[in-house]
Structure 1
Amino acid sequence: MGQRFTLLLIFLGVQVGAGAFKICAFNIRSFGRAKAANRRVMGALVQILSRCDISAIQEVRDSRGAAIQTLLRELNRYDPSHHYSRLESKRLGRGSYKEQNIFVYRMDVVSVTDWCQFGDEDARNYKAFARGPFAARFHSPYTAILDFVLLLHHTSPREAAQELELLFGVCTELMQRWKTENVMLLGDLNAAGAYIPASAWAGIRLRNHLAFHWLIGDGEDTTVSHRTCCAYDRIIVHGEELLGAIVPRSAKPFNFTQALGLSEEEALAISDHYPVEVNLRLAPKAQREL
C-alpha cells in the first residue's frame, strides 16, 4: 500500500469531526490477539475507528482483554487530540463460544451515565437470546441531543427473526427504565438474506411499528466479500428528538475497501463486515468550539 496508503489514512484522520458527531457499529470478525498483533490490520482499524466519537464494536473474542487494550492504546497514540475509553459487556454466548460487545468512545466528548446487560440468568424474559443485548446511556454537551441510549446487539444468524422480535421488548424496557424515548439500536443484526425469510418480516414489530426508523435500508451492502450483497448490519432509531438530531442521509456503510485502497483479500483480513455509521448534529455552541 505504501506512501499513497499512508497519505490517504492521514487525510481520513483530518476529516474527523467535520461538523458532526459520528456513531458507528462494527463487527470486527473474531477480534483477538492475532489481529491485535497484525500491524497492518491494527493500522487500518485505528484509522477506521478514529473517525468516530462512539464505536460499537462486536465479536471481541480475546478472553484476557489484551486485544482491546492494544486497540485503545493505539487509538490514543494515533489521535492524541482525544482520549478514548471503553465500556465492555460480559462475555456472551451459551456454550464455549464467547464474544463481547464493547463501546469505544471519546471520553473528552461524551460520557457514559448508565449501562445495562440483558440476558443474565435472572432475566427470564431474555434467555432466548444467544448473546444478551448490551445497552449504554450517553451524555454529550456537544450534540444537538444531550442524552441518548445505544443498544448494541449481535443476533444469532439462525435465530435472527426471533431475536429481532424480542428486541422490541428490550427497547420498551429501556425506555421505561431510563425514562427516555431516544434509543438507537445498532449492530450486526443479520437482518437480511436467508436469515430473515420474507414471511418473517410481518411478525417483527421492530420492523413494522411506526415509531422505529430503519436508517440502513434493505438495499445497502454491509458485507466486504464481492460474493455477498446483504444489509446484515443496521441502525434503527426510536424517538423523534433523536431522529431530529441526525444529519440527513448520513446513515450508511463505510466501505473501507475503497476508502483505504485495499484489495478484497486485504479488506477481509480486517473484517467481513463494513461498519455502519450515522452522524448527530452538533449543538450550536459546539460547532464553534470543536
Structure 2
Amino acid sequence: MRLYVPHGLLLMVVLLFPDTNCFRICSYNIPQFNTAKSSDYNIIHTLTQVLTRCDVSLLMGVQELAALKPLLAALNRYSEKYTYEPVSSKALGTDPKNLEHYTFIYRTQTVNLTGEHQYQSADFVRPPFAVRFQSNKTHVPDFVLIPLHSEPTKAVQEIDKLYDVFMEVYEKWENQNVMFLGDFHAGCAYVTRADKKDIRLFSNTSFSWLISDRMDTTVTDQMDCPYDRMVVYGTSFLQQIKPFSANVFNPIKTFKLQPSWLVKVSDHYPLEVELKSSVTLPHASPLYFLLLILHFLYLTL
C-alpha cells in the first residue's frame, strides 16, 4: 500500500513553518517616536508585528526613551519564546527640540550585548553609536552594528566619514565583522551617482552594499529612493550573510495594511538581512525531519 502524502500538504507545512534557525537583523526609522506616538495602540501593534520577526532591530527617531516602555511591554507579551531588551545611545543632535537616541532592541535568548561605543565627532549631526554583539546562533562569533541617521543635506560627508568610524571601532575591538545600517539618505537628490566618488564606503571595494540603488525604501508613491542602507566590511562577514536575504520589508503586503496607515508609523520601510545559522543538522528543527520522513514514505511506499 502506498502512503498518500500530497505535495501540496508538504508545501503548505513548509510555508506555515519556515526555518526558525535564521538570525535576522533589522533597521527601521520611526520618525518622532515619543510618548505621544507610543501611546497609540495601533502603532505599537504594527511595530510589534515588524520587530518580533527580528533578533536585533535598530530603531531611529526615538526622541524619548520613555516611549520604549509600551513597545517593550508589547514585544514581551507577544512572544512567549523570547525576551526583548533595549540598548540606547545618549540623546544626539544639534537641535535641542529634535534630539534622537539610536536604539537597538534584541532577543536575550539569541544574542548577547558585549560592548558599546559612542563615536565623538562634529562631522555628524547624530554621531554613530557602535554596539558589539555575540551570538551562538550564527556562524560569525561576534559582530558590530553601527547605525547612522544622516542629516539629509550632509549625507555625502557623513556617509564618507563612516570610514573613520570603522577605523576607530576596529582599533578599539579588533573586530572586522562590521555592519553599517540606517537611514543614510543615500539616494535621489541627497546622494547622486556623481557623489559616490567622494564616499569611501563606495570607492573602497572592501565594503559591500547589501541594499542596492534600485531598492525603494520609502512608503509614499511620491518618492522612489534608496535612502535606507546596510553595508558590511570584508569578505569574511559578507560570506556569513544568507544570500538574497537583504531586503526591504513591506508591512503593507505582509500584514495587509493601508499605505495611509503605515505612514503614521513611518514613511520608511524597514530593512532586514539574515546571517547564516550555526545550527547543525542534528540540532535542526524536528519539523524538518518529519517532512523528510513523510517525503521519503511518499516516494517509497
TM-score (norm 1): 0.89
CA displacement at 1:95 relative to structure 2: 2.1
Note if contact 1:214-1:235 (Cα within 8 Å) is conserved in structure 2.
Answer: yes
1:109 and 2:110 matched: yes
Show the counterpart of 2:84. 84
CA displacement at 1:287 relative to structure 2: 7.9
CA displacement at 1:239 relative to structure 2: 2.5
Show the counterpart of 1:74. 74
RMSD: 1.6
Alpha-carbon deviations, 1:258-281, whole Å to 9, x = none? 111111111111110111110001
CA displacement at 1:163 relative to structure 2: 0.3
1:187 and 2:186 matched: no
Show the counterpart of 1:54. 56
Moved more, 46-55 or 30-39: 30-39
One-letter amino acid of the counterpart of residue 21, structure 1: F
- Report SS of the residue matched to 1:77: helix
Note if contact 1:16-1:52 (Cα within 8 Å) is conserved in structure 2.
Answer: no
CA displacement at 1:286 relative to structure 2: 8.6
**Residues 193, 26 of structure 1: CA spacing in aligned structure 2 closer, same or farther, 3 A cutoff?**
same
CA displacement at 1:17 relative to structure 2: 5.8
1:173 and 2:168 matched: yes
- Equivalent of 2:191, from 181, 196, 201? 196
- Equivalent of 2:47, from 32, 45, 48? 45
Show the counterpart of 1:4. none
Structure 1 distance, partners of 2:244, 2:269, is 17
CA displacement at 1:231 relative to structure 2: 0.5
Show the counterpart of 1:243. 238
- Report SS of the residue matched to 2:239: helix
Moved more, 187-196 or 278-287: 278-287
Show the counterpart of 1:9. none
Structure 1 distance, partners of 2:44, 2:117, is 29
Structure 2 distance, partners of 1:41, 1:58, is 15
Note if contact 1:220-1:231 (Cα within 8 Å) is conserved in structure 2.
Answer: yes
Structure 1 distance, partners of 2:174, 2:242, is 24
One-letter amino acid of the counterpart of residue 131, structure 1: R
Structure 1 distance, partners of 2:60, 2:71, is 13
- Equivalent of 2:215, from 208, 217, 220? 220
CA displacement at 1:33 relative to structure 2: 1.3
Show the counterpart of 1:145. 140
Note if contact 2:44-2:70 (Cα within 8 Å) is conserved in structure 1.
Answer: no
CA displacement at 1:241 relative to structure 2: 2.0
Alpha-carbon deviations, 1:215-273, whole Å to 9, x = none? 00000010010111111000000032211111000001101111111111111111101
Show the counterpart of 2:27. 25
One-letter amino acid of the counterpart of residue 135, structure 1: A
Alpha-carbon deviations, 1:25-75, whole Å to 9, x = none? 10012111122111111111001000000001000012xx22111111110
Structure 2 distance, partners of 1:58, 1:17, is 28
Show the counterpart of 2:289. none
Alpha-carbon deviations, 1:100-154, whole Å to 9, x = none? 11000001110111110112xxxxxx21210110111100011111111100110
Using the aligned pairs only, state the percent identity.
38
Show the counterpart of 2:297. none
Structure 1 runs not aligned, ≥5 long: 1-13, 120-125
Show the counterpart of 2:93. 93
One-letter amino acid of the counterpart of residue 238, structure 1: Y
Note if contact 1:16-1:51 (Cα within 8 Å) is conserved in structure 2.
Answer: no
TM-score (norm 2): 0.86
Show the counterpart of 1:162. 157
Show the counterpart of 1:275. 270
Larger Rg: 2
Note if contact 1:143-1:286 (Cα within 8 Å) is conserved in structure 2.
Answer: no
Structure 2 distance, partners of 1:15, 1:40, is 26
Note if contact 1:15-1:51 (Cα within 8 Å) is conserved in structure 2.
Answer: no
